[in-house]
Chains A and B, each alone.
Chain A
Amino acid sequence: MEFRIIARALRYVVIGVFALWTLIPLAWIVSLAFKSYAEWRVSYFIPKNPTVDNFLLLFNPQELLGRYGVMGATAIIEPATKPLLNSLIITAASTVLAVFVGFFTAYGASRYRVPGPFTLFFTLLTRMLPPAIFITPIMVYYSNLRILDTHIGLIALYSAVTVTYAIWILKGFIDAIPIEWEEAAMLEGATPIKVLFKVVLPLVRPGLVVAGLFIFLLTWSELLFALVLTNINAVTLSVHISKYVGAVGQLFGPQAALALIGSIIPVVIGYTIQKHLVTGFTFGMVRG
């Protein structure tokens, strides 16, 4: 009996420690984001004079650099507004594209086994290989096409590398729809295209939302492609964040504020599709 109580207590301790370990970086970043310059290097978590300056300075880099006089900080010349907008536009557009292309493919794969296994394998392969091995040729190719540093370039690339998730997530949803409903519609004389749009599409709407949000989450997080393919016009939030660390490195408060701003959307999305995260991350191999 006593052994049981000890085992149970130990269990709560381990879970508690893990929860704390997960929580501490978050708590510290929130605290740092509201600390004034004088408190950036101190150890306590509750700021003495909470301030929103760090957030405001992100949108006013001239003031930011003037105030803290950081040397060699030429990398940050943009307010955070443009990267935020770019990220929203690029992520939203590529997500919509990936979900619709993925939906058509998933329907064919679920009902008729087209496209063949090779294409499906290829999409999985592109997703599992390191993005770094694609950057060299894509950089060359984009520069020949003159679409480096454009929104369209990133949108096309992101939709191509995330379409895999749309296919596998949506295939699961379509597989769950009774095929009799489609056959009934066919018997009444509906064309296959009409069945696809009028019967399947409305039924699979929750799947489109899940796939879309999941892909949004992934695309929003991507750094390497954006780093290589953008320069001034199409800089995304990830690249903007990396500039704070790499080129300046000492603006702790604003850096924490930027991390918080950049986390809001992915965390909200993540909790919205919490039940489906496992399915998404494992290409539908594990049902959440």
Chain B
Amino acid sequence: MSREIPKSIKLLSTLPLNIVLNAVLIIPFAIMIYLAFLKWSPAMGIDWWMAAFIGIANFIRALGDVRFINALTNTAIYTVAVVSIEFFLGLLLAYLMLEEFIGRKAVLSLIIYPLMLPPVIVASVFYLMFQPYGPVNNVFLRAILGEDALRITWFLNPRLAFTALIIADIWQWTPFIFLILYSALSAVPKRLIEAAQVLGASSFTIFWKIRLPLIKPLIIVAVVLRALEAFKMFDYAYLMTGGGPGVSTETVSLYIYRVSVLYTDISYAAAMSLIVLVMLAIIIRLFIWYFFERVK
């Protein structure tokens, strides 16, 4: 709109937001950048602004920190694994749910409820599910493996612990991808589909050649948002495995949390945070450019 901006509106739409953002995000953000170049921990008994400046030593330390690299690798593998499985399942389900059938609304409501649950509760539930005497062993695996199933200790084996986390994530977030793709697919104009049917295209061809290309931008939205969320993963690892056994399921979030809260190595945690921030900010910037600015 080309009207002149009234002063009052300008003030109202920028001032409250800036106060909120500045007070709790931008000031700490500035502090973080400064902290990353210091050597400081609360245990040193001095205030952080008195601490010694050590240049980029924290960053160099991070790049050589096996545990940091391990956490980054874990998080990357986790993200790729959950996003690809969830994408495949979500797309399959969205395709299958497209056609009308009796009870479709009820099924739709049922399969999206995991989305609404707090991740901390899902983690708590799957922690219980994967106990040696929990239902995963005691009901499902027992049916296949017999009594041996009760000896499987999911959280003591690195591979199984990682698998348990992935299963919890898939359970909770497949509906996320499903729901986005389902609304996108439902919004494809009917006349396009009908025209293709008249021309004799099979329903698989219609899906592959017409529906899928049309919803491509939304597939990217779903996958990128899900990947960014998966990269944040903290709750499942913190509750279910505690990053263990050892550090085999430690994610970036969990490691930063530990370095800053448990080991109180604040300046080092700030440096690692900055590294992760820069990495992700580039990806997010490209994504937002692709979605909000490219067309205009």
Q: Which 6 A-B pairs have the closest CB atoms?
A: A108-B13, A270-B116, A221-B118, A132-B253, A133-B273, A137-B32
Chain A CB within 8 A of B160 CB:
no
A32 to B20 Cα, complex, angstroms: 43
- Are the C-beta atoms of A252 and B111 separated by less than 8 Å? no
Q: Contacts A140-B35, A266-B118 hold; do A278 and B232 have CB atoms under 8 A apart? A: no
- Are the C-beta atoms of A241 and B9 separated by less than 8 Å? no
Chain B CB within 8 A of A49 CB:
no
Which A residues are closer than 8 A to B by beta carbons?
Answer: 11-12, 14-15, 18-19, 21-26, 28-29, 32, 41-43, 97, 100-102, 104-109, 111-112, 114-115, 117, 119, 121-126, 128-141, 143-144, 156-157, 159-161, 163, 167, 179, 191-193, 196, 217, 220-224, 227-228, 238, 241-242, 244-246, 252, 255-256, 258-259, 262-263, 266-267, 269-271, 274, 277-278, 281-282, 285-288
Cβ contacts under 8 Å, B1 to chain A: 111-112, 179
- Nearest-neighbour CB distance to chain B for A154, whole angstroms, equals 10
Contact of A132 among B3, B120, B256, B266 (CB under 8 A): B256
Cβ contacts under 8 Å, B32 to chain A: 134, 136-137
- Are the C-beta atoms of B116 and A266 separated by less than 8 Å? yes
A125 to B213 Cα, complex, angstroms: 28
Residues 96-128 of chain B: 1 if any A CB is under 8 Å from the residue's CB, otherwise 0?
Answer: 110101000001011111111111110111111
A282 to B273 Cα, complex, angstroms: 25
Contact of B92 among A14, A26, A128, A221 (CB under 8 A): A14
- Are the C-beta atoms of B5 and A114 separated by less than 8 Å? yes
Chain A CB within 8 A of B21 CB:
yes
Name the segment of B59-67, B190-198, B280-288 touching the other chain: B280-288
- Are the C-beta atoms of B13 and A104 separated by less than 8 Å? yes
- Are the C-beta atoms of B288 and A121 separated by less than 8 Å? yes
Cβ contacts under 8 Å, B293 to chain A: 117
- Are the C-beta atoms of B142 and A160 separated by less than 8 Å? no
Which B residues are closer than 8 A to A by beta carbons?
Answer: 1, 3, 5-6, 8-10, 12-14, 16-18, 20-21, 23-25, 27-29, 31-32, 35, 42, 47-48, 89, 92-93, 96-97, 99, 101, 107, 109-121, 123-129, 131, 133, 135, 138-139, 142, 171, 175-176, 179-180, 183-184, 187, 218, 221-222, 225, 228, 231-232, 234-235, 238-240, 242, 252-254, 256-257, 260-261, 266, 269-270, 273-274, 276-277, 280-281, 284-285, 288, 291, 293
Cβ contacts under 8 Å, A107 to chain B: 9, 12-13
A41 to B128 Cα, complex, angstroms: 10
Chain A CB count within 10 A is highest, among B126, B127, B231, B291, for B127
Q: Which residue of A lies closest to B49 (CB)?
A: A144
Q: Which residue of A lies closest to B5 (CB)?
A: A112
Q: Contacts A104-B12, A128-B280 hold; do A259 and B125 have CB atoms under 8 A apart? A: yes
- Are the C-beta atoms of B234 and A266 separated by less than 8 Å? no
